[in-house]
Structure 1
């Protein structure tokens, strides 16, 4: 086999592998599209711009299979989770109330059990996910927030209770377990502010702060 043919075969294989990397299930696409939605909200506010997203980032990125994305969109639309429309030649999708409920259901699949009392330690989730896994990275961010973790830096989230097993399970399901680390710390910078935020969300309570 000539060198040129070998290179062509290798390039074809790389393109095929790259396609596999960015394949999205309908559920992952729904999460990726509406990662900014506050799924803990009690009601659906249709007027909010976060419920309407452009498809531009998928159509303009050569790593995505456009036909596959369209199939996923069509499925989500047929299930009543989204609506689609075109504005100024740009395609948009809008989350429906039924889709909002689906997002809440997806976020509830993994839960972190709360111990009786806080051990005064912090669980820090740190990740450095390559750009080629952007969809999985977005899904991870969405899920960490839905689990109650607080973002303290771009790719650093914190939680007061043990959650290693849950985070490992989550990152493994997204295929990015090698890019995610869970660390335990006795103290972190800005601890008072972080405690206040967890008190506000009722993740922590005053009893947890007792010595």
Structure 2
């Protein structure tokens, strides 16, 4: 039970980090960031974009700056550590990372569409030599809300073939990942249907309702 709670907590923290990362990369695409004396990072044309980019204000200064340092170490962004008045620029690798993070928003936009009763099943065979890539790819699928059927098999009911192609391309896994459309998941069908169509319950105006895509 404790391990399960820790996994959920870790996944939530991962998602928060993903949100900060995506916002920072998006700001970089918008013209570069600049450090202010307060410690926050804002776009150079902050006054013009203030209304559009307010996401960073939901997080602490230390968390944002920690994310900036991590992104720099991963070569997603570049900036001069000796002059924080200079802008932060996005690298080619950072642009690719932003595209991957944007996939989650695209997939979320599909959740309210009518289901075509086909499952998108993803399976992969990535050797131990590429363990880091394999783990990162698996982590991305989980963050994209894919359901894990088995260790290397994930499934989702949404028509995300194009988005999956982008994800696979970003990890250079063309010949190691297989995407299938299947009509039935056999013994897993009931559990997976319940996961996607009946699991998310939210209270709104004192009424409990279930968020699900149209069957």
Larger relative contact order, structure 1 or 2 (CA cutoff 8 Å, min sep 6): 1
Using the size of structure 2 for normalisation, the TM-score is: 0.47
